[in-house]
Structure 1
Amino acid sequence: MLPKDYVGFKLTGEVKTDVNDASGTSLFDVRKRSWSEEIISELKLELSIFPEVLESPEIRGELDREVARELGLKPGIPVVAGAGDQGAAGVGAGATVEGVLSVNVGTSGVVFTSSDAYRFDPLGRLHAFCHAAPSKWHLMGVMLAAGGSLRWFRDALCQPEKVVASLIGDDPYNVMMREAERAPVGSEGLIFLPYLSGERTPHADPYARGVFFGLSLKHGKEHMIRAVLEGVAFGLRNSLELMIELGIKPKDVRILGGGSRSPLWRKIISDVFGLKVYLLEVDEGSSYGAAILASVGAGAYKTVEGAVDEIIKTRDPVEPDRDTHRKYLEYYRIYNRLYQDLKDDFKDLAKII
């Protein structure tokens, strides 16, 4: 039983799950949106022990009378099946139309898009799940240290920025961003590999590690900060390119997460992707998406897509600069080669440590 489904069980007494969360169990036929009888049989398990699977906005049950009394709520309130965290976040970002991407720059980085048909990466570099919007699927790429890379740099190398921020009543990240703005596009040839925790998409490599490549006497802290921002954007672009390989035609990007608060980072991502980037009016991601699913289940809206069209608002669009995009693609080619050149060395290094 998945965590949210245990909560649903305690609220309703019903043991059920949803297609989005079930997609991550390795026991689910994502194409057919049902448990995989073949896998379950191979594992010598009984299909009968698995819960009923619902579409995410479907009602799993009603609020139990005793539970309602304890919570101070009315009994019989419908409880919706819900979705996994990223499935709900995709709804909350408005990524329910094929080609509309959501990019979540939190500690990790997630690139997410809806798909009208079941698509999957045979090499497993992208996750293919049932979407929380019925009759759709989604593709998702995950990098392990997006905002986490910037946080590491702040904590390891930006004590002066922390002091300045405390003196002027500002956030250290804002001080760092002002520094990064002084560095040019491409950080004067400094490239950062954001593999501080290994990497998932596209490498699935626990041995990969962070690298500053091209460091020279001309580089200062402003170049290093900007290189971190650009390196994360390059890592996110890896997921975008895999989606394009699978037939997705990207339209635009909805950005959320802590990293989205930086206008500079939004601009870098727009220029690296070559796509328009929108900031969301409400940056609540998963919880906002869960509320939208509940509104559909309760009958306030007929479809998830209809609810998204009416509820989700964007602002502060950023247009990519064509010349900057071309320049970033030159750096991006080197960025990709660096991993290929170093992947064996990462493994050798792990043996020594």
Structure 2
Amino acid sequence: MASCEPLFLGIDVGTSGTKCVVIDARGVIVADATAEHPVSYPKPGWSEQDPEDWWRSTIAAVQQATAQSPGCAALIEAIGLSGQMHGLVALDAAGEVVRPSILWNDSRSSAICNRLQSRDPGLAMLMRTTGNRVFPGFQAPKLLWMREHEPAAFARVAKALLPKDWLRYRLSGEYMGEPSDASGTAVFDCAKRAWSDELLGALKLSRALFPDIAESPILSTRLSASAARALGLRAGIGIAGGAGDQAAAAIGSGVAAEGTISCCIGTSGVVFAASNQWRATPNGELHAFCHAVPNRWHFMGVMLSAGGSLRWLRDTLAQDAVAQAQTRGIDAYEVLAERAARVAIGSDGLVFLPYLTGERCPIPDPAIRGGFAGLDIAHGRDHLARAAFEGITAGLAGNVDLMRALGVRVDEVRLSGGGARSPFWRSMCADMFDASVCLLASDASGAFGVALLAAVGAGVFPTVDAACAATVRTRDLLAPDAARARAYNAVKSRARTAAERALRVEQ
């Protein structure tokens, strides 16, 4: 690291901890650190955190990161912020937290969401004003829940912030948001990149509750003296608007412009595609949000149980694979992939529906449930493994196909998450997506993505596109096989048919 080279700090407030990344002007990671914070589950379906725990973990992570390189703290020129989306941080007129933050995975507002979409104000108005369905995790339904169930606390609320925007307030003393994260509140007009006065009026929520909006790369606030002392940084450092966690990770993956999409296969699965123009699905089958790039948008398909379905298979029906993996010194998922590879495409008619916890995209149905369809006495454990891989990948491919149907170009898919480590699964993705897939050569975290946004805001790069082109590299490009891609079309068709007949549970 050159002695006077400017550095940029990315901070990502996740559900389990805060991650910090320090990069130089070439996008090389100089230091990184993570500090944990707790989650509270006070009732079934509830998920909360104390925002002050985010502040404590941010201080710890920043101090740990900057301690890794002598003089690092003095060279930081700008900060970018990312964080878990959708959470509600309710503040009073003095800026004090009114109640614990209600998180993205909290379902207490389910009945309110059903009401909003069925009649008050109805799905048609939601789609017209925001381009999206509303889900229990989104912020605005949580405010409505407070108004109905905690009226005294709601009466004190003067500002409603998202988690990373609360951290911005703690860092700068100012209320400010940005479009990508605001898109997930359920009251943001994504086409206009502004709060929807029409929808806020229909819900009887004051526009004054929500912060002003500045685009993601803009250094819209400055680090206060008190926050600088706590972090060990210089006062006055610019703070970029940043992004919600998914848009931030997309920037870290180089997915800034249309043509390249990302697919993260973790416990859940997320397919993310940039769009150079505003467009939305007719019935909200995909999230259509603002991107962290000015005048760009993105589609996002969220599959609730991707790797989680494979973990379920391992833990419930494939304990022998775990034992075998331990004997051979490999991962149990490698054993499952080996078993799946022994069965022909289509699993001899066996279909797995990965809806173990409901589904969000492209089937927005929390009541749908999964299972095996077409199970035959001739099927064995290898068929179960193959069907599971195919069912999960078909669900992800359904999002890719829907994006294509909307006119989005799909030139390349950048894979990440635990599932991307499997060569077998990567090949299946290429064939079922009918697109070339690749891996990222280095860190693709949200913290890295918003550090790049901070560098853009500081003028190191003229645009977000330029920052991604200069810093993000890929490896292991794999093209689809035309014959296998055709064979997988039948698999996807059977999966769609089985999904239409899937069981629903009472909510």
TM-score bracket, shorter-length normalisation: over 0.9
1:60 maps onto 2:231 in alignment: no
* 1:182-221 correspondence to structure 2 within 5 Å: 182-221=342-381
Q: Give SS of 1:102's match.
A: strand
Displacement after TM superposition at 1:166 (Å): 2.7
Alpha-carbon contact 1:256-1:285 (below 8 Å) kept: no
| Structure 1: 5+ residue stretches without partners | none
| Stretch moving more, 244-253 or 285-294 | 285-294
Q: Which 4+ stretches in 1 moved above 4 angstroms? A: none
Alpha-carbon contact 2:176-2:220 (below 8 Å) kept: yes
Q: Percentage identity across aligned positions?
A: 46
Q: Give SS of 2:383's match.
A: helix
Q: Which amino acid aligns with 2:448?
A: Y
Alpha-carbon contact 2:354-2:388 (below 8 Å) kept: yes
Matches of 1:13 and 1:129, distance apart in 2: 27
Q: What corresponds to 1:336 in structure 2?
A: 496
Q: What corresponds to 2:199 in structure 1?
A: 39
> TM-score scaled by structure 2?
0.66
| Structure 2: 5+ residue stretches without partners | 1-160
Matches of 2:473 and 2:386, distance apart in 1: 29
Alpha-carbon contact 1:257-1:283 (below 8 Å) kept: no
Alpha-carbon contact 2:401-2:433 (below 8 Å) kept: no
| Stretch moving more, 319-328 or 199-208 | 199-208
Alpha-carbon contact 1:27-1:36 (below 8 Å) kept: yes
Q: What corresponds to 1:161 in structure 2?
A: 321
Which of 307, 310, 332 aligns to 2:467? It is 307
| Stretch moving more, 201-210 or 312-321 | 201-210
Matches of 1:269 and 1:293, distance apart in 2: 30
Q: Give SS of 1:14's match.
A: coil
Decide which structure has greater helix share.
1
Which of 93, 96, 120 aligns to 2:253? It is 93
Q: Give SS of 2:272's match.
A: strand
Matches of 2:386 and 2:435, distance apart in 1: 20
Q: Deviations over 1:294-319 (max 9, x none)?
A: 22122221111111111111111111
Count of aligned pairs: 347
Q: Give SS of 2:213's match.
A: strand
1:288 maps onto 2:448 in alignment: yes
1:18 maps onto 2:178 in alignment: yes
* 1:1-353 correspondence to structure 2 within 5 Å: 1-340=161-500, 342-343=501-502, 346-347=503-504, 350=505
Matches of 1:289 and 1:237, distance apart in 2: 25
Alpha-carbon contact 2:439-2:474 (below 8 Å) kept: yes
Query: Superposition RMSD on alpha carbons, in Å?
Result: 1.7
Q: Deviations over 1:162-182 (max 9, x none)?
A: 223333332222222222222
Alpha-carbon contact 1:192-1:211 (below 8 Å) kept: yes
The verdict on how the C-alpha distance between 1:256 and 1:170 changes in structure 2, with shifts beyond 3 A counting, is same
Matches of 2:447 and 2:317, distance apart in 1: 34
Higher relative contact order (CA 8 A, sep 6+): 1
Q: Give SS of 1:192's match.
A: strand
Alpha-carbon contact 2:179-2:193 (below 8 Å) kept: yes
